[in-house]
Structure 1
Protein backbone atom coordinates (compact mmCIF):
# COMPACT_ATOMS: atom_id res chain seq x y z
CA UNK A 1 0.00 0.00 0.00
CA UNK A 2 1.18 3.50 -0.85
CA UNK A 3 -0.20 6.57 0.90
CA UNK A 4 0.22 10.18 -0.17
CA UNK A 5 -0.76 13.12 2.00
CA UNK A 6 -1.30 16.75 0.94
CA UNK A 7 1.12 16.73 -2.01
CA UNK A 8 1.87 20.19 -3.41
CA UNK A 9 4.26 20.99 -6.25
CA UNK A 10 4.99 24.15 -8.22
CA UNK A 11 7.43 24.93 -11.01
CA UNK A 12 8.56 28.54 -11.54
CA UNK A 13 5.61 29.80 -9.54
CA UNK A 14 3.05 27.72 -11.42
CA UNK A 15 1.15 25.27 -9.18
CA UNK A 16 1.01 21.79 -10.75
CA UNK A 17 -0.20 19.73 -7.76
CA UNK A 18 -2.54 21.25 -5.20
CA UNK A 19 -2.94 19.24 -2.01
CA UNK A 20 -3.47 15.71 -3.31
CA UNK A 21 -4.02 12.87 -0.82
CA UNK A 22 -4.98 9.25 -1.32
CA UNK A 23 -4.33 5.56 -0.71
CA UNK A 24 -3.18 3.19 -3.47
CA UNK A 25 -4.16 -0.35 -2.55
CA UNK A 26 -2.10 -3.53 -2.86
CA UNK A 27 -3.20 -6.12 -5.39
CA UNK A 28 -5.27 -3.58 -7.30
CA UNK A 29 -4.72 -1.46 -10.39
CA UNK A 30 -4.81 2.15 -9.18
CA UNK A 31 -5.30 4.60 -12.06
CA UNK A 32 -4.34 8.28 -12.18
CA UNK A 33 -6.81 9.59 -14.75
CA UNK A 34 -7.05 12.97 -16.41
CA UNK A 35 -6.34 15.01 -19.51
CA UNK A 36 -2.84 16.06 -20.52
CA UNK A 37 -1.36 18.70 -18.25
CA UNK A 38 -3.40 17.82 -15.15
CA UNK A 39 -0.37 16.75 -13.09
CA UNK A 40 -0.60 12.95 -13.38
CA UNK A 41 3.02 12.32 -14.39
CA UNK A 42 4.35 14.89 -11.92
CA UNK A 43 2.44 13.16 -9.12
CA UNK A 44 3.89 9.82 -10.20
CA UNK A 45 7.40 11.31 -10.11
CA UNK A 46 6.76 12.72 -6.63
CA UNK A 47 5.69 9.30 -5.40
CA UNK A 48 8.78 7.49 -6.72
CA UNK A 49 11.13 10.28 -5.59
CA UNK A 50 12.18 11.64 -8.99
CA UNK A 51 10.63 14.98 -8.04
CA UNK A 52 10.55 16.35 -4.49
CA UNK A 53 7.15 17.76 -3.44
CA UNK A 54 7.14 21.26 -1.96
CA UNK A 55 4.74 20.09 0.75
CA UNK A 56 3.40 16.67 1.66
CA UNK A 57 4.55 13.13 2.31
CA UNK A 58 4.63 9.65 0.76
CA UNK A 59 4.73 6.34 2.65
CA UNK A 60 5.30 2.84 1.32
CA UNK A 61 3.64 0.16 3.46
CA UNK A 62 3.90 2.41 6.49
CA UNK A 63 7.52 3.46 5.91
CA UNK A 64 8.00 7.21 5.50
CA UNK A 65 9.73 7.93 2.19
CA UNK A 66 9.81 11.69 1.66
CA UNK A 67 12.94 13.24 3.22
CA UNK A 68 13.86 9.96 4.94
CA UNK A 69 17.41 8.68 5.28
CA UNK A 70 19.11 7.83 2.00
CA UNK A 71 19.55 4.17 2.98
CA UNK A 72 15.84 3.71 3.67
CA UNK A 73 14.89 5.47 0.42
CA UNK A 74 17.28 3.25 -1.53
CA UNK A 75 15.81 0.13 0.06
CA UNK A 76 12.32 1.19 -1.05
CA UNK A 77 13.55 2.05 -4.54
CA UNK A 78 14.91 -1.49 -4.93
CA UNK A 79 11.31 -2.68 -4.63
CA UNK A 80 10.04 -0.37 -7.37
CA UNK A 81 9.46 -1.44 -10.97
CA UNK A 82 8.89 1.13 -13.74
CA UNK A 83 7.19 0.72 -17.10
CA UNK A 84 7.94 3.83 -19.13
CA UNK A 85 5.71 5.32 -21.80
CA UNK A 86 8.20 4.52 -24.57
CA UNK A 87 9.29 1.22 -22.91
CA UNK A 88 12.79 2.79 -22.69
CA UNK A 89 14.67 -0.32 -23.80
CA UNK A 90 18.40 -0.10 -24.51
CA UNK A 91 18.64 -0.31 -28.30
CA UNK A 92 22.12 -1.82 -28.21
CA UNK A 93 21.13 -4.66 -25.85
CA UNK A 94 19.24 -7.86 -26.53
CA UNK A 95 15.95 -8.57 -24.79
CA UNK A 96 17.82 -10.79 -22.34
CA UNK A 97 20.39 -8.10 -21.53
CA UNK A 98 17.67 -5.46 -21.09
CA UNK A 99 15.83 -7.57 -18.52
CA UNK A 100 19.03 -8.69 -16.83
CA UNK A 101 20.22 -5.10 -16.40
CA UNK A 102 18.32 -4.24 -13.16
CA UNK A 103 19.22 -7.64 -11.71
CA UNK A 104 22.91 -6.82 -12.14
CA UNK A 105 22.49 -3.29 -10.81
CA UNK A 106 20.25 -3.98 -7.82
CA UNK A 107 21.19 -7.45 -6.61
CA UNK A 108 23.96 -9.97 -6.13
CA UNK A 109 22.59 -12.88 -8.19
CA UNK A 110 24.97 -15.18 -9.97
CA UNK A 111 24.81 -15.24 -13.77
CA UNK A 112 22.85 -18.51 -13.90
CA UNK A 113 20.31 -17.17 -11.42
CA UNK A 114 19.85 -13.98 -13.43
CA UNK A 115 19.25 -15.84 -16.68
CA UNK A 116 16.82 -18.16 -14.95
CA UNK A 117 14.90 -15.14 -13.70
CA UNK A 118 14.97 -13.56 -17.17
CA UNK A 119 13.48 -16.73 -18.65
CA UNK A 120 10.82 -16.85 -15.94
CA UNK A 121 9.55 -13.32 -16.53
CA UNK A 122 9.76 -13.65 -20.32
CA UNK A 123 7.53 -16.70 -20.10
CA UNK A 124 5.15 -14.81 -17.80
CA UNK A 125 4.68 -12.00 -20.33
CA UNK A 126 4.29 -14.39 -23.25
CA UNK A 127 7.70 -13.88 -24.88
CA UNK A 128 9.40 -17.17 -24.09
CA UNK A 129 12.44 -17.67 -26.32
CA UNK A 130 12.80 -14.01 -27.32
CA UNK A 131 16.07 -13.65 -25.36
CA UNK A 132 18.37 -12.87 -28.28
CA UNK A 133 16.09 -10.51 -30.19
CA UNK A 134 17.03 -6.85 -30.45
CA UNK A 135 14.51 -4.08 -29.67
CA UNK A 136 14.48 -3.13 -33.35
CA UNK A 137 13.04 -6.56 -34.13
CA UNK A 138 10.09 -6.14 -31.76
CA UNK A 139 6.62 -4.73 -32.34
CA UNK A 140 5.25 -2.00 -30.08
CA UNK A 141 3.30 -4.52 -28.02
CA UNK A 142 6.32 -6.80 -27.65
CA UNK A 143 8.42 -3.87 -26.43
CA UNK A 144 5.81 -3.12 -23.77
CA UNK A 145 5.90 -6.77 -22.68
CA UNK A 146 9.69 -6.65 -22.40
CA UNK A 147 9.32 -3.44 -20.39
CA UNK A 148 6.92 -5.20 -18.02
CA UNK A 149 9.26 -8.19 -17.74
CA UNK A 150 12.17 -5.90 -16.86
CA UNK A 151 10.07 -4.06 -14.28
CA UNK A 152 9.02 -7.20 -12.42
CA UNK A 153 12.32 -9.09 -12.80
CA UNK A 154 13.74 -7.87 -9.44
CA UNK A 155 10.59 -9.13 -7.64
CA UNK A 156 9.16 -5.62 -7.36
CA UNK A 157 6.62 -4.76 -4.68
CA UNK A 158 5.46 -1.55 -6.36
CA UNK A 159 4.84 -1.14 -10.10
CA UNK A 160 4.50 2.26 -11.79
CA UNK A 161 3.25 2.50 -15.38
CA UNK A 162 3.32 5.78 -17.32
CA UNK A 163 0.79 5.64 -20.20
CA UNK A 164 1.43 1.92 -20.89
CA UNK A 165 -0.91 1.93 -23.91
CA UNK A 166 0.70 4.87 -25.68
CA UNK A 167 1.15 4.18 -29.39
CA UNK A 168 -0.59 0.79 -29.37
CA UNK A 169 -3.57 -0.39 -31.41
CA UNK A 170 -6.76 -1.05 -29.38
CA UNK A 171 -6.41 -4.85 -29.30
CA UNK A 172 -2.77 -4.78 -28.22
CA UNK A 173 -3.57 -2.08 -25.67
CA UNK A 174 -6.27 -4.31 -24.17
CA UNK A 175 -3.84 -7.23 -23.90
CA UNK A 176 -1.25 -5.05 -22.15
CA UNK A 177 -3.92 -3.81 -19.72
CA UNK A 178 -4.97 -7.38 -18.96
CA UNK A 179 -1.35 -8.47 -18.47
CA UNK A 180 -0.66 -5.64 -16.00
CA UNK A 181 -3.80 -6.47 -14.04
CA UNK A 182 -3.01 -10.21 -13.98
CA UNK A 183 0.53 -9.60 -12.74
CA UNK A 184 -0.72 -7.11 -10.12
CA UNK A 185 -3.14 -9.66 -8.67
CA UNK A 186 -0.87 -12.68 -9.07
CA UNK A 187 2.13 -11.16 -7.30
CA UNK A 188 0.24 -8.90 -4.88
CA UNK A 189 1.84 -5.73 -6.24
CA UNK A 190 0.77 -2.15 -5.57
CA UNK A 191 0.33 -0.83 -9.10
CA UNK A 192 -0.17 2.81 -10.11
CA UNK A 193 -0.97 3.59 -13.75
CA UNK A 194 -0.99 7.04 -15.37
CA UNK A 195 -3.56 7.11 -18.16
CA UNK A 196 -6.07 9.18 -20.09
CA UNK A 197 -7.50 6.09 -21.84
CA UNK A 198 -11.11 5.38 -20.89
CA UNK A 199 -10.79 1.85 -22.30
CA UNK A 200 -8.21 1.13 -19.59
CA UNK A 201 -10.48 2.67 -16.97
CA UNK A 202 -13.43 0.47 -17.91
CA UNK A 203 -11.35 -2.71 -18.27
CA UNK A 204 -8.98 -2.59 -15.29
CA UNK A 205 -9.82 0.43 -13.11
CA UNK A 206 -10.01 -1.14 -9.65
CA UNK A 207 -9.47 2.28 -8.08
CA UNK A 208 -9.43 5.54 -10.03
CA UNK A 209 -8.21 8.99 -9.05
CA UNK A 210 -9.42 11.77 -11.37
CA UNK A 211 -7.10 14.77 -11.51
CA UNK A 212 -8.13 18.16 -12.84
CA UNK A 213 -5.89 21.24 -12.82
CA UNK A 214 -3.67 19.72 -10.15
CA UNK A 215 -6.48 18.70 -7.81
CA UNK A 216 -8.07 15.32 -7.10
CA UNK A 217 -11.73 15.88 -7.91
CA UNK A 218 -13.00 12.30 -7.61
CA UNK A 219 -11.99 8.79 -6.64
CA UNK A 220 -13.84 5.52 -7.01
CA UNK A 221 -14.15 2.32 -9.05
CA UNK A 222 -14.84 1.64 -12.72
CA UNK A 223 -18.36 0.57 -11.73
CA UNK A 224 -19.10 4.00 -10.25
CA UNK A 225 -17.35 6.28 -12.71
CA UNK A 226 -20.17 6.38 -15.26
CA UNK A 227 -22.60 7.71 -12.67
CA UNK A 228 -21.07 10.72 -10.94
CA UNK A 229 -22.15 14.33 -10.43
CA UNK A 230 -18.65 15.76 -11.00
CA UNK A 231 -19.05 18.05 -14.02
CA UNK A 232 -15.39 18.01 -15.06
CA UNK A 233 -15.21 14.21 -14.84
CA UNK A 234 -18.36 13.75 -16.90
CA UNK A 235 -17.03 16.12 -19.56
CA UNK A 236 -13.85 14.06 -19.72
CA UNK A 237 -15.57 10.66 -19.80
CA UNK A 238 -18.26 11.51 -22.32
CA UNK A 239 -16.10 13.51 -24.69
CA UNK A 240 -16.33 10.73 -27.29
CA UNK A 241 -19.42 9.28 -28.91
CA UNK A 242 -18.77 5.70 -27.81
CA UNK A 243 -18.88 6.61 -24.13
CA UNK A 244 -21.97 8.77 -24.62
CA UNK A 245 -23.74 5.86 -26.31
CA UNK A 246 -22.69 3.49 -23.51
CA UNK A 247 -24.12 5.89 -20.92
CA UNK A 248 -27.36 6.22 -22.88
CA UNK A 249 -27.78 2.43 -23.02
CA UNK A 250 -27.07 2.13 -19.29
CA UNK A 251 -29.66 4.79 -18.47
CA UNK A 252 -32.26 3.12 -20.68
CA UNK A 253 -31.65 -0.25 -19.03
CA UNK A 254 -32.02 1.29 -15.56
CA UNK A 255 -35.26 3.01 -16.59
CA UNK A 256 -36.66 -0.24 -18.00
CA UNK A 257 -35.73 -2.10 -14.81
CA UNK A 258 -37.38 0.52 -12.59
CA UNK A 259 -40.60 0.42 -14.63
CA UNK A 260 -41.03 -3.34 -14.19
Structure 2
Protein backbone atom coordinates (compact mmCIF):
# COMPACT_ATOMS: atom_id res chain seq x y z
CA UNK A 1 0.00 0.00 0.00
CA UNK A 2 1.17 3.50 -0.88
CA UNK A 3 -0.14 6.57 0.91
CA UNK A 4 0.29 10.19 -0.15
CA UNK A 5 -0.39 13.06 2.22
CA UNK A 6 -1.10 16.66 1.16
CA UNK A 7 1.24 16.72 -1.85
CA UNK A 8 2.00 20.21 -3.22
CA UNK A 9 4.27 21.01 -6.16
CA UNK A 10 4.92 24.18 -8.14
CA UNK A 11 7.24 24.98 -11.04
CA UNK A 12 8.34 28.58 -11.65
CA UNK A 13 5.54 29.83 -9.46
CA UNK A 14 2.83 27.77 -11.22
CA UNK A 15 1.06 25.32 -8.91
CA UNK A 16 0.83 21.88 -10.48
CA UNK A 17 -0.30 19.83 -7.46
CA UNK A 18 -2.49 21.36 -4.79
CA UNK A 19 -2.80 19.28 -1.63
CA UNK A 20 -3.37 15.80 -3.11
CA UNK A 21 -3.89 12.96 -0.64
CA UNK A 22 -4.93 9.36 -1.13
CA UNK A 23 -4.28 5.64 -0.67
CA UNK A 24 -3.24 3.21 -3.41
CA UNK A 25 -4.17 -0.34 -2.47
CA UNK A 26 -2.13 -3.53 -2.83
CA UNK A 27 -3.29 -6.09 -5.37
CA UNK A 28 -5.42 -3.55 -7.21
CA UNK A 29 -4.98 -1.38 -10.28
CA UNK A 30 -5.01 2.20 -9.00
CA UNK A 31 -5.60 4.71 -11.81
CA UNK A 32 -4.61 8.39 -11.86
CA UNK A 33 -7.15 9.82 -14.29
CA UNK A 34 -7.42 13.24 -15.87
CA UNK A 35 -6.84 15.33 -18.97
CA UNK A 36 -3.38 16.34 -20.13
CA UNK A 37 -1.77 18.93 -17.88
CA UNK A 38 -3.72 18.07 -14.73
CA UNK A 39 -0.66 16.91 -12.76
CA UNK A 40 -0.94 13.13 -13.14
CA UNK A 41 2.63 12.48 -14.30
CA UNK A 42 4.07 15.00 -11.82
CA UNK A 43 2.26 13.21 -8.99
CA UNK A 44 3.66 9.89 -10.19
CA UNK A 45 7.17 11.36 -10.22
CA UNK A 46 6.67 12.71 -6.70
CA UNK A 47 5.63 9.27 -5.49
CA UNK A 48 8.66 7.47 -6.97
CA UNK A 49 11.07 10.20 -5.87
CA UNK A 50 12.00 11.63 -9.27
CA UNK A 51 10.52 14.98 -8.20
CA UNK A 52 10.60 16.31 -4.65
CA UNK A 53 7.27 17.71 -3.40
CA UNK A 54 7.29 21.25 -2.02
CA UNK A 55 5.07 20.00 0.78
CA UNK A 56 3.62 16.66 1.83
CA UNK A 57 4.86 13.10 2.20
CA UNK A 58 4.74 9.61 0.71
CA UNK A 59 4.81 6.29 2.58
CA UNK A 60 5.36 2.79 1.17
CA UNK A 61 3.74 0.10 3.33
CA UNK A 62 4.08 2.35 6.36
CA UNK A 63 7.69 3.36 5.69
CA UNK A 64 8.21 7.09 5.31
CA UNK A 65 9.85 7.79 1.94
CA UNK A 66 9.98 11.55 1.40
CA UNK A 67 13.15 13.08 2.93
CA UNK A 68 14.04 9.81 4.67
CA UNK A 69 17.61 8.53 4.88
CA UNK A 70 19.24 7.73 1.54
CA UNK A 71 19.68 4.02 2.30
CA UNK A 72 15.98 3.65 3.17
CA UNK A 73 14.91 5.46 -0.02
CA UNK A 74 17.25 3.26 -2.06
CA UNK A 75 15.85 0.11 -0.46
CA UNK A 76 12.32 1.17 -1.45
CA UNK A 77 13.44 2.08 -4.97
CA UNK A 78 14.80 -1.45 -5.42
CA UNK A 79 11.21 -2.67 -5.02
CA UNK A 80 9.85 -0.34 -7.72
CA UNK A 81 9.15 -1.38 -11.31
CA UNK A 82 8.45 1.25 -13.97
CA UNK A 83 6.69 0.96 -17.33
CA UNK A 84 7.44 4.13 -19.27
CA UNK A 85 5.11 5.74 -21.79
CA UNK A 86 7.33 4.91 -24.78
CA UNK A 87 8.54 1.61 -23.23
CA UNK A 88 12.05 3.19 -23.09
CA UNK A 89 13.88 0.07 -24.24
CA UNK A 90 17.59 0.33 -24.99
CA UNK A 91 17.81 0.22 -28.78
CA UNK A 92 21.30 -1.31 -28.79
CA UNK A 93 20.32 -4.19 -26.48
CA UNK A 94 18.40 -7.35 -27.27
CA UNK A 95 15.11 -8.11 -25.53
CA UNK A 96 16.95 -10.42 -23.14
CA UNK A 97 19.57 -7.78 -22.32
CA UNK A 98 16.89 -5.16 -21.71
CA UNK A 99 15.10 -7.35 -19.18
CA UNK A 100 18.35 -8.47 -17.57
CA UNK A 101 19.56 -4.88 -17.12
CA UNK A 102 17.76 -4.13 -13.80
CA UNK A 103 18.81 -7.54 -12.46
CA UNK A 104 22.44 -6.62 -13.04
CA UNK A 105 21.94 -3.20 -11.47
CA UNK A 106 19.73 -4.07 -8.51
CA UNK A 107 20.06 -7.76 -7.70
CA UNK A 108 23.01 -9.86 -6.53
CA UNK A 109 22.12 -12.77 -8.77
CA UNK A 110 24.34 -15.28 -10.63
CA UNK A 111 24.19 -15.19 -14.42
CA UNK A 112 22.28 -18.49 -14.74
CA UNK A 113 19.63 -17.27 -12.33
CA UNK A 114 19.35 -14.01 -14.23
CA UNK A 115 18.75 -15.91 -17.47
CA UNK A 116 16.11 -18.08 -15.80
CA UNK A 117 14.37 -14.97 -14.47
CA UNK A 118 14.43 -13.33 -17.91
CA UNK A 119 12.89 -16.43 -19.49
CA UNK A 120 10.24 -16.62 -16.76
CA UNK A 121 9.26 -12.97 -17.27
CA UNK A 122 9.15 -13.33 -21.05
CA UNK A 123 6.90 -16.36 -20.72
CA UNK A 124 4.66 -14.47 -18.30
CA UNK A 125 4.06 -11.67 -20.81
CA UNK A 126 3.60 -14.10 -23.74
CA UNK A 127 6.93 -13.51 -25.51
CA UNK A 128 8.71 -16.85 -25.22
CA UNK A 129 11.74 -17.17 -27.50
CA UNK A 130 11.92 -13.43 -28.21
CA UNK A 131 15.23 -13.20 -26.28
CA UNK A 132 17.48 -12.30 -29.19
CA UNK A 133 15.17 -9.87 -30.98
CA UNK A 134 16.09 -6.21 -31.12
CA UNK A 135 13.58 -3.49 -30.16
CA UNK A 136 13.46 -2.37 -33.80
CA UNK A 137 12.01 -5.80 -34.69
CA UNK A 138 9.09 -5.47 -32.25
CA UNK A 139 5.60 -4.07 -32.68
CA UNK A 140 4.30 -1.43 -30.27
CA UNK A 141 2.41 -4.01 -28.25
CA UNK A 142 5.43 -6.30 -28.04
CA UNK A 143 7.58 -3.40 -26.80
CA UNK A 144 5.04 -2.75 -24.04
CA UNK A 145 5.18 -6.43 -23.06
CA UNK A 146 8.98 -6.30 -22.90
CA UNK A 147 8.67 -3.15 -20.80
CA UNK A 148 6.36 -4.97 -18.39
CA UNK A 149 8.72 -7.96 -18.25
CA UNK A 150 11.63 -5.65 -17.42
CA UNK A 151 9.58 -3.87 -14.75
CA UNK A 152 8.64 -7.08 -12.92
CA UNK A 153 12.00 -8.82 -13.40
CA UNK A 154 13.44 -7.72 -10.01
CA UNK A 155 10.30 -9.04 -8.23
CA UNK A 156 8.91 -5.55 -7.80
CA UNK A 157 6.50 -4.75 -4.98
CA UNK A 158 5.30 -1.52 -6.57
CA UNK A 159 4.56 -1.07 -10.28
CA UNK A 160 4.17 2.34 -11.92
CA UNK A 161 2.82 2.69 -15.46
CA UNK A 162 2.83 6.00 -17.35
CA UNK A 163 0.22 5.95 -20.14
CA UNK A 164 0.79 2.24 -20.94
CA UNK A 165 -1.70 2.34 -23.86
CA UNK A 166 -0.17 5.33 -25.61
CA UNK A 167 0.21 4.69 -29.35
CA UNK A 168 -1.50 1.28 -29.31
CA UNK A 169 -4.51 0.13 -31.31
CA UNK A 170 -7.67 -0.51 -29.19
CA UNK A 171 -7.38 -4.33 -29.18
CA UNK A 172 -3.71 -4.33 -28.20
CA UNK A 173 -4.42 -1.66 -25.56
CA UNK A 174 -7.04 -3.90 -23.95
CA UNK A 175 -4.61 -6.83 -23.90
CA UNK A 176 -1.94 -4.70 -22.21
CA UNK A 177 -4.50 -3.51 -19.64
CA UNK A 178 -5.52 -7.10 -18.93
CA UNK A 179 -1.89 -8.20 -18.59
CA UNK A 180 -1.12 -5.43 -16.09
CA UNK A 181 -4.24 -6.28 -14.08
CA UNK A 182 -3.42 -10.01 -14.07
CA UNK A 183 0.15 -9.44 -12.90
CA UNK A 184 -1.02 -7.00 -10.22
CA UNK A 185 -3.44 -9.51 -8.73
CA UNK A 186 -1.23 -12.57 -9.26
CA UNK A 187 1.81 -11.14 -7.46
CA UNK A 188 0.05 -8.84 -4.99
CA UNK A 189 1.66 -5.70 -6.41
CA UNK A 190 0.62 -2.13 -5.65
CA UNK A 191 0.08 -0.76 -9.16
CA UNK A 192 -0.44 2.90 -10.08
CA UNK A 193 -1.35 3.75 -13.68
CA UNK A 194 -1.38 7.25 -15.18
CA UNK A 195 -4.02 7.40 -17.91
CA UNK A 196 -6.63 9.48 -19.68
CA UNK A 197 -8.06 6.41 -21.45
CA UNK A 198 -11.66 5.66 -20.48
CA UNK A 199 -11.32 2.14 -21.89
CA UNK A 200 -8.70 1.45 -19.21
CA UNK A 201 -11.00 2.91 -16.57
CA UNK A 202 -13.89 0.65 -17.57
CA UNK A 203 -11.76 -2.46 -18.04
CA UNK A 204 -9.40 -2.41 -15.04
CA UNK A 205 -10.25 0.56 -12.81
CA UNK A 206 -10.27 -1.08 -9.38
CA UNK A 207 -9.67 2.31 -7.82
CA UNK A 208 -9.60 5.66 -9.61
CA UNK A 209 -8.39 9.09 -8.54
CA UNK A 210 -9.56 11.94 -10.79
CA UNK A 211 -7.32 15.00 -10.91
CA UNK A 212 -8.34 18.42 -12.21
CA UNK A 213 -6.01 21.42 -12.19
CA UNK A 214 -3.77 19.74 -9.63
CA UNK A 215 -6.54 18.81 -7.19
CA UNK A 216 -8.24 15.52 -6.43
CA UNK A 217 -11.91 16.01 -7.32
CA UNK A 218 -13.15 12.44 -7.03
CA UNK A 219 -12.11 8.94 -5.94
CA UNK A 220 -13.94 5.67 -6.47
CA UNK A 221 -14.23 2.52 -8.62
CA UNK A 222 -15.16 1.88 -12.24
CA UNK A 223 -18.58 0.72 -11.03
CA UNK A 224 -19.21 4.14 -9.49
CA UNK A 225 -17.64 6.48 -12.02
CA UNK A 226 -20.53 6.48 -14.49
CA UNK A 227 -22.88 7.96 -11.91
CA UNK A 228 -21.23 10.85 -10.09
CA UNK A 229 -22.29 14.39 -9.22
CA UNK A 230 -18.89 15.93 -10.07
CA UNK A 231 -19.40 18.22 -13.11
CA UNK A 232 -15.76 18.27 -14.27
CA UNK A 233 -15.51 14.48 -14.04
CA UNK A 234 -18.72 14.04 -16.01
CA UNK A 235 -17.45 16.44 -18.68
CA UNK A 236 -14.33 14.31 -18.98
CA UNK A 237 -16.11 10.95 -19.02
CA UNK A 238 -18.85 11.86 -21.45
CA UNK A 239 -16.75 13.93 -23.83
CA UNK A 240 -17.29 11.40 -26.62
CA UNK A 241 -20.50 10.05 -28.08
CA UNK A 242 -19.79 6.41 -27.24
CA UNK A 243 -19.65 7.12 -23.50
CA UNK A 244 -22.78 9.29 -23.68
CA UNK A 245 -24.62 6.46 -25.45
CA UNK A 246 -23.39 3.95 -22.85
CA UNK A 247 -24.67 6.22 -20.08
CA UNK A 248 -28.06 6.52 -21.76
CA UNK A 249 -28.35 2.73 -22.06
CA UNK A 250 -27.51 2.32 -18.35
CA UNK A 251 -30.08 4.96 -17.38
CA UNK A 252 -32.78 3.38 -19.57
CA UNK A 253 -32.11 -0.07 -18.09
CA UNK A 254 -32.27 1.33 -14.55
CA UNK A 255 -35.55 3.15 -15.25
CA UNK A 256 -37.04 -0.01 -16.73
CA UNK A 257 -35.96 -2.02 -13.70
CA UNK A 258 -37.57 0.50 -11.35
CA UNK A 259 -40.81 0.46 -13.33
CA UNK A 260 -40.94 -3.33 -13.28
CA UNK A 261 -40.08 -3.44 -9.58
Runs of 4+ in 1 over 3 A off after TM superposition: none
Deviations 1:123-179 (A, max 9, x none): 000001000000000000000000000000000000000000000000000000000
If the length of structure 1 is used for normalisation, what is the TM-score?
1.00
Q: d(CA) in 1 for partners of 2:241 and 2:129? A: 42
Aligned residues: 260
Provide the residue aligned with 1:222 in structure 2. Answer: 222
- 1:32 counterpart = 2:32: yes
Q: d(CA) in 1 for partners of 2:158 and 2:27? A: 10
Q: CA deviation at 1:250?
A: 0.2
Provide the residue aligned with 1:169 in structure 2. Answer: 169
- 1:129 counterpart = 2:125: no
Pairs within 5 Å for 1:38-187 = 38-187=38-187
Q: CA deviation at 1:8?
A: 0.2
SS at structure 2 position matched to 1:182: helix
Q: d(CA) in 1 for partners of 2:58 and 2:128? A: 37
Q: CA deviation at 1:107?
A: 1.0
CA RMSD, aligned part only?
Answer: 0.2
Q: d(CA) in 1 for partners of 2:107 and 2:35? A: 38
SS at structure 1 position matched to 2:161: strand
Q: d(CA) in 1 for partners of 2:186 and 2:149? A: 14
SS at structure 2 position matched to 1:185: helix
SS at structure 2 position matched to 1:225: coil
Q: d(CA) in 2 for partners of 1:250 and 1:170? A: 23
SS at structure 1 position matched to 2:123: helix
Q: d(CA) in 2 for partners of 1:163 and 1:108? A: 31
SS at structure 2 position matched to 1:165: coil
Q: d(CA) in 2 for partners of 1:22 and 1:34? A: 15
Provide the residue aligned with 1:205 in structure 2. Answer: 205
Q: d(CA) in 1 for partners of 2:186 and 2:108? A: 25
Deviations 1:75-126 (A, max 9, x none): 0000000000000000000000000000000011010000000000000000
SS at structure 1 position matched to 2:258: helix
- 1:247 counterpart = 2:247: yes
Deviations 1:152-207 (A, max 9, x none): 00000000000000000000000000000000000000000000000000000000
Provide the residue aligned with 1:257 in structure 2. Answer: 257
Stretches of structure 2 that go unaligned for 5 or more consecutive residues are none
Q: CA deviation at 1:49?
A: 0.1
Q: d(CA) in 1 for partners of 2:240 and 2:115? A: 46
Q: d(CA) in 2 for partners of 1:258 and 1:69? A: 58
SS at structure 2 position matched to 1:58: strand
Q: d(CA) in 2 for partners of 1:202 and 1:172? A: 16
Provide the residue aligned with 1:23 in structure 2. Answer: 23
Q: d(CA) in 2 for partners of 1:107 and 1:123? A: 20
